[in-house]
Structure 1
Amino acid sequence: MHWTEIHHDGVRKDGLRYDDRSLRRHAGRPSPYPHAGGRWPIRYDPRDLTRVYFHDPGTGAWSTVCWTFALGGVEPFTDVTLRQLRRELRERGGDPRDQQGVRDALLDLQNRTAAVPPARDWRARARDAEPAGSLPGRRGAMPRSPHE
């Protein structure tokens, strides 16, 4: 769980901004939780930072609150991925706090990752790359069955 203030433009978690209508009526107000210092509880899954979850104590309803830059093809990503992306952005001279930069780097990473063939494709390529002499019907080829 993450405790944070609700601003007019949503909540922040790990430098990412999340916004939804369910938050707006609580913007700028202290939470009803006396031990929280005015902050509100936000639940999240570290395996998917595209969204967080807000429990409205007035209605008892849970709301899914999306990362404002998650729209447009961003797949779920982890807290580990976010740290790595920010490190790479810093190394390239970018601003790791710039959410548009994080989104662009994330899309680039996800596109590069999607371009890697699955393991079965690697096995098929390795099989297809075997020397011609090992193919059936070629000299020195292994018979297909013990009866050939």
Structure 2
Amino acid sequence: MATLFAQFVAGYTGRSPEFRGRGEGQQAAWSLTELQALLDEWIIAAWQNRPHDELRDPLHPGRAFTPNEKYAAMVEACGYVPVALTADDYVELLPARWNAINAYGIKVARRTYDGPELNPFRQQSSGITGHDGKWEVHCDPYDISRIWVRDHWNGGWITVFWTQLHRVAAPFGEMAWDHARARQPGATEAELADAVESLLQRASLGPGGPGGPKQDRRSRRVAARTRAAQQLPASQKNPRPARNDARPQAGSQEDAPLAEVIPMPIFDPFAEADKPW
């Protein structure tokens, strides 16, 4: 598989000098990250849909199947069990960026995220030399109230909240924040948070409400999309519970013992193949 892919990549030198292509030294070489992304795309688009001699069926010995065809046949014969994503899986799929952890916290789009969880990592290197020691940060474009920082030292994720979260009652996304930044280019972070809160309050009153001047079309569209994101189930918006300083009262449902969780067994094709038919 490696040769089938590599022979078309710029900078390919072949298995020995006599197989080296023309102009190899003059062509631009791929970085390791770009090469990995290109390989992933090639596996999905080409390799998985290419017939393989090793993938033959006893009932059809004259035909070679592709990996996707054999997988589809296995699912049709044995079925499958859909497994829900965990909270960590949800965070893994969010857009990623690389930031330094400074003394004041982490800066994302002119917003400051900070918390005591960052204390051991302030002004420290993550150890990832390919990103100059910065830390991998995942953000939810529909809820900017928090970010998730990958703990490159100990593993797992660190949830860090926005320092101006107390200024805005309702959650909102990047669209509302960018709208406020475009309207007030020189505003401070606190002023931008207040501008977003004012926008959401005026939108909640409706076009005839006493919230001040009539909003323009752009502001109404931003507010409408923000409200639509707020109406999603909590499990779809935030994989982690929101920060709450309140403690459950005695005798509440939070004090009740949790029921035993019995996991559903997952189909194992290798174990199934060893069973007598």
Question: Normalising by the residue count of structure 1, what TM-score does the alignment of the two structures yield?
Answer: 0.69
Is there any run of 5+ residues in structure 1 with no aligned partner, and where?
118-148
Shift in alpha-carbon separation, 1:84–1:73, aligned structure 2, 3 A: closer
Name the amino acid aligned to 1:48. D
What is aligned with 1:67?
A: 162
SS in 2 for 1:58: coil
Name the amino acid aligned to 2:135. W
What is aligned with 2:99?
A: 4
SS in 1 for 2:184: helix
SS in 2 for 1:85: helix
Return the alpha-carbon distance in structure 1 between the equivalents of residues 101 and 201 of structure 2.
Answer: 33
Displacement of 1:72 after TM fit?
4.2
Residue 19, structure 1, aligned to residue 143, structure 2 = no
Higher strand share: 1
Residue 115, structure 1, aligned to residue 197, structure 2 = no
SS in 1 for 2:148: strand
Alignment of 1:85-104 (within 5 A): 85-90=180-185, 95-96=186-187, 98-104=188-194
Return the alpha-carbon distance in structure 2 between the equivalents of residues 73 and 79 of structure 1.
Answer: 14
Equivalenced residue count is 112
Name the amino acid aligned to 1:106. V
Alignment of 1:28-43 (within 5 A): 28-43=123-138
- Contact 1:50/1:76 (CA < 8 Å) preserved in 2? yes
Name the amino acid aligned to 2:201. N
Name the amino acid aligned to 2:140. D
Return the alpha-carbon distance in structure 1 between the equivalents of residues 167 and 181 of structure 2.
Answer: 20
What is aligned with 2:222?
A: none
Shift in alpha-carbon separation, 1:3–1:44, aligned structure 2, 3 A: same
Displacement of 1:67 after TM fit?
0.8
What is aligned with 1:50?
A: 145
SS in 2 for 1:60: coil
Return the alpha-carbon distance in structure 2 between the equivalents of residues 46 and 8 of structure 1.
Answer: 25
Aligned residues with identical type, % of pairs: 25
- Contact 1:19/1:65 (CA < 8 Å) preserved in 2? yes
Which structure carries more relative contact order (alpha carbon 8 Å, separation 6+)? 1
SS in 1 for 2:200: helix
Displacement of 1:110 after TM fit?
1.3
Displacement of 1:59 after TM fit?
2.7
TM-superposition CA deviations, 1:99-133 (whole Å, max 9, x none):
1101110110111122229xxxxxxxxxxxxxxxx
- Contact 1:2/1:13 (CA < 8 Å) preserved in 2? no
Displacement of 1:71 after TM fit?
1.9
What is aligned with 2:179?
A: 84
Return the alpha-carbon distance in structure 2 between the equivalents of residues 11 and 61 of structure 1.
Answer: 18
Query: How large is the Cα RMSD of the aligned pairs?
Result: 1.6
Is there any run of 5+ residues in structure 2 with no aligned partner, and where?
1-95, 208-277
Displacement of 1:3 after TM fit?
0.4
Residue 106, structure 1, aligned to residue 201, structure 2 = no
Moved over 4 A (4+): none
